[in-house]
Amino acid sequence: MSERRDLEVIAELVPPGSRVLDLGCGDGELLAHLSARRGCTGYGVEIADANVPRCVQRGVQVIQLNLEEGLALFGDRSFDVVLQLDTLQHLRNTERMLQETARVGRIGIVSFPNFAHWPNRVAVSRGRMPVTKTLPYQWYDTPNIRVGTFADFEMLARRDGLRILDAFGLHDGRPVRRWPNLRASVAVFKFERGEMARTS
Amino acid sequence: MQSVGVVSPQSRHFEHPLPLRSGATLADYTLVYETYGELNGDASNAVLVCHALNASHHVAGRYDDAAASEGWWDNLVGPGKPLDTDRFFVIGVNNLGSCFGSTGPMQTNPATGTPYGAAFPVVTVEDWVDAQARLIDALGIRRLAAVIGGSLGGMQALAWTLRHPQRVRHCIAVASAPNLSAQNIAFNEVARRAITTDPDFHGGHFYDHGVVPARGLRVARMIGHITYLSDDSMEAKFGRELRNGGLGYTTQDIEFQIESYLRYQGDKFSEYFDANTYLLITRALDYFDPAAAYGGNLSAAFAPARDNQFLIVSFTTDWRFAPARSREIVKALVDNRIAVSYAEIDAPHGHDAFLLDDARYHTLLRAYFDRLAAEAPA
């Protein structure tokens, strides 16, 4: 798996010294990396019981919350960066979560499986839902309740007044900047609230 | 798992008057305490354990001469346990106003030569913490590695970071709340009225009459006990089980096992707990409200704790101090950018879960103390 390299590519997007909120922080690996390598501080949010002590053990501040209940705990623009990696696709209220991300952080960084990656297209063209390294689940037993594409996210970001600062794909731990909607298994977006949203 | 073994309480007398929040002063007082493990050379491994309503300084181990005398948090504190006495010097202290040895209503008021009784001054969580700080001084500890408590003990742990933030590094508050809700106060008031309306209460001076308001204490304990358990755990333990297998068509005898259980708990409690102490401690609970001095702004109240680190823990089935109350604390800490971790343990036991050894709960505390032991004291 290329998760470690994915993590390093995404960590590069976070300015050193940032105050970070990592939504769906898992066992805290990225926050620990950001703290050790880039002098970042902040909190992780995680729902899974087993992950909470793992975060604590490595000194990552973790808050156990269900993201479906929103981010009422966090004030407007209280973080430099809000990360939402490999999490958005598990949430029922995807759009609201994205708006919350933009409210709480100055910069949002999201990543999610790109359903338009070509092997997925091939699978669907053969009449079957894809089962791949990035989308390893059968359709009837998947935590990914929202499937979207790189191109879909660009549309949603526009609709919600988010200004995209950077966007690229990831595949096998390498950034994919040419035709990411076709060539990347994972989509990565870095964005901020657009002017319209900021004044409203 | 090993125990700290046989322990014995110690006591220390304090001659300096203790100013209380009420404006009254305790001229001098005694605190009873126990310690487990060894204080290290630079006195940086001390952990203070604060007790809740009906517990004491006897946190871990057992007494030589008494059967079933295990400390109330023996499953947590001991060699190799989550709060590991091979690494930490653990202190349990009995609070002022209690009935387990520290100065309280059962003891002689030096000013009158008779027991304090109802004349014992009303003490608050903050007063307790100030008294605890003097014990910490006396033990030669400048800064605690951590202060930990559940329920009312958690309130004391929080109060440490507000009153003496430089004297403690970590605060662990389990199944606690930033103040009592109206419902919480209502339950306390029912308990207090049960005691104060008992004909044997005598306005709190029952010692003079050679009686104790046992009926009131029993009912107080029964109502309290209901709030410590979850609906589910009570259902699982008792359900509608009958004591004698069939209905007896009686309104006054015990029919259901839950009645039998509550009466048993009440009886046991009334034999060892002091009525005036019960009134004092429930009042301390009612009064605790650090946000009150800041117009209800809990975030403002926690500003002094900016250098402390917190672990806040709640239990999903705790309806007495529900997870939402712990989340209020977490929000106040996050607003101040204070280091905090928060866990919501999915345990079925209700408020009492903080005393039990649920695996997820203890794994978390073990991880937290492991981390704490590994970090260099500032």
Mean of pLDDT over chain B? 96
Q: Is the model's pLDDT at A198 over the cut of 50?
A: no
The pair of three-digit structure tokens given for residue B143, joined into one six-digit string: 């800064």
How do residues B24-83 score in pLDDT, each as one tens digit?
A: 999 999 999 999 999 999 999 999 999 999 999 999 999 998 888 999 999 999 999 999
- To the nearest whole Å, the CA of B361 is away from the closest chain A CA by 9
Rounded to whole angstroms, how far apart are CA atoms B69 and B336? Answer: 42
A/B interface, count of CB pairs below 8 Å: 56
Query: Pick the catalytic residue: B318, B326, B349, B358?
Result: B318
Q: Is the model's pLDDT at B378 over the cut of 70?
A: no
Q: What's the N-to-C CA distance of chain B in angstroms?
A: 32
How do residues A143-180 score in pLDDT, each as one tens digit?
A: 888 889 999 999 999 999 999 999 999 999 899 999 99
From A146, A142, A153, A138, select the one nearest A184 (Cα to Cα).
A153
Rounded to whole angstroms, how far apart are CA atoms B195 and B192? Answer: 5
Q: Is the model's pLDDT at B157 over the cut of 60?
A: yes
Verify whether the Cβ–Cβ distance B367 to A61 is below 8 Å. Answer: no
Residue range B207-232: mean pLDDT, rounded: 96
Rounded to whole angstroms, how far apart are CA atoms B241 and B235? Answer: 10
Residue B239 is predicted with a pLDDT of 97
Lowest mean pLDDT among A6-10, A46-50, B198-202, B283-287: A6-10
Residue B5 is predicted with a pLDDT of 93
Q: Which residues of A touch B370 (CB under 8 A)?
A: 57
ipTM of the complex: 0.94
Task: Among A57, A69, A77, A79, pick the best mutation site for testing chain B contact (most B Cβ within 10 A).
Answer: A57
Partners of B10 in the β-ladder? B33
Residue with more model confidence, A133 or A60: A60
Pairing mode, strands A105-113 and A79-85: parallel
Q: Is the model's pLDDT at A200 over the cut of 50?
A: no
Phi-psi region of B209 (alpha: psi -120 to 50; beta: other; left: phi over 0): alpha
Question: Measured between CB atoms, does B330 come within 8 Å of chain A?
Answer: yes
From B354, B313, B369, select the one nearest B78 (Cα to Cα).
B369
- Please enumerate in sequence order all residues whose Cβ is within 8 A of that of B339, keeping only pairs 6 or more positions apart, or say none: A61, B308, B309, B310
Question: Measured between CB atoms, does B360 come within 8 Å of chain A?
Answer: yes
pLDDT-derived band at A197 (thresholds 50, 70, 90) equals: very low
Q: Which residues of A touch B345 (CB under 8 A)?
A: 49
Lowest mean pLDDT among A17-26, B64-73, B206-215, B336-345: B64-73
Lowest mean pLDDT among A126-140, B124-138, B146-160, B327-341: A126-140
Question: Measured between CB atoms, does B123 come within 8 Å of chain A?
Answer: no
Query: Pick the catalytic residue: B102, B151, B230, B314?
Result: B151
Residue A199 is predicted with a pLDDT of 43
DSSP B376: P
Indicate the SS3 state at residue B36. strand
- The neighbour count for residue B111, using CB atoms within 10 Å, is 9
Residue B229 is predicted with a pLDDT of 95
Segment 310-329 of chain B within 8 Å of chain A by CB: 311, 327
Rounded to whole angstroms, how far apart are CA atoms B202 and A18? Answer: 64
Residue B164 is predicted with a pLDDT of 98
Question: Measured between CB atoms, does B345 come within 8 Å of chain A?
Answer: yes
Q: Is B318 a catalytic residue?
A: yes
Indicate the SS3 state at residue A16. coil
Residue range A15-21: mean pLDDT, rounded: 97
Q: Which residues of B touch A32 (CB under 8 A)?
A: none
Question: Measured between CB atoms, does B363 come within 8 Å of chain A?
Answer: yes
B78, B60 Cβ separation under 8 angstroms: yes
From B32, B23, B25, select the one nearest B51 (Cα to Cα).
B32
Verify whether the Cβ–Cβ distance B370 to A73 is below 8 Å. Answer: no
B320, B223 Cβ separation under 8 angstroms: no
DSSP character string of A100-129: HHHHHEEEEEEEEEBTTSHHHHHHHHTTS-
- The neighbour count for residue B354, using CB atoms within 10 Å, is 28
In angstroms, the Cα distances linking A92 to A68, A69, A147, B122 are: 7, 11, 11, 51
How do residues B77-123 score in pLDDT, each as one tens digit?
A: 999 999 999 999 999 999 999 999 999 999 999 889 999 999 999 99
pLDDT-derived band at A5 (thresholds 50, 70, 90) equals: confident
- To the nearest whole Å, the CA of B48 is away from the closest chain A CA by 21
Rounded to whole angstroms, how far apart are CA atoms B131 and B147? Answer: 14
Q: Which residues of B touch A65 (CB under 8 A)?
A: 342, 344
B33, B93 Cβ separation under 8 angstroms: yes
Residue B35 is predicted with a pLDDT of 98
CB-nearest to B344 from A53, A57, A64 is A64
Residue A1 is predicted with a pLDDT of 38
B247, B219 Cβ separation under 8 angstroms: no
Residue A194 is predicted with a pLDDT of 80
DSSP character string of B132-194: HHHHHHHTT-SSEEEEEEETHHHHHHHHHHHH-GGGEEEEEEES--SS--HHHHHHHHHHHHH
How do residues A26-80 score in pLDDT, each as one tens digit?
A: 999 999 999 999 999 999 999 999 999 999 999 999 999 999 888 999 999 999 9
The rounded percent of chain A whose pLDDT value lies above 90 is: 79
Task: Among A27, A73, A77, A104, pick the best mutation site for testing chain B contact (most B Cβ within 10 A).
Answer: A73
Verify whether the Cβ–Cβ distance B341 to A56 is below 8 Å. Answer: yes
Q: Is B151 a catalytic residue?
A: yes
pLDDT-derived band at A191 (thresholds 50, 70, 90) equals: very high
**Helical spans, DSSP H, in B30-163:** 125-138, 152-163
Model confidence, pTM: 0.95
Helix (H) or strand (E) holding B344: strand B339-345
Q: Which residues of B touch A58 (CB under 8 A)?
A: 371
Q: Which residues of B touch A19 (CB under 8 A)?
A: 337
Q: Is B351 a catalytic residue?
A: yes
Q: Which residues of A touch B342 (CB under 8 A)?
A: 62-65
Q: Is the model's pLDDT at B1 over the cut of 90?
A: no
pLDDT-derived band at A196 (thresholds 50, 70, 90) equals: low
How do residues B237-292 score in pLDDT, each as one tens digit?
A: 999 999 999 999 999 999 999 999 999 999 999 999 999 999 999 999 999 999 99
Residue range B167-191: mean pLDDT, rounded: 98
B354, B151 Cβ separation under 8 angstroms: yes
Question: Measured between CB atoms, does B362 come within 8 Å of chain A?
Answer: no
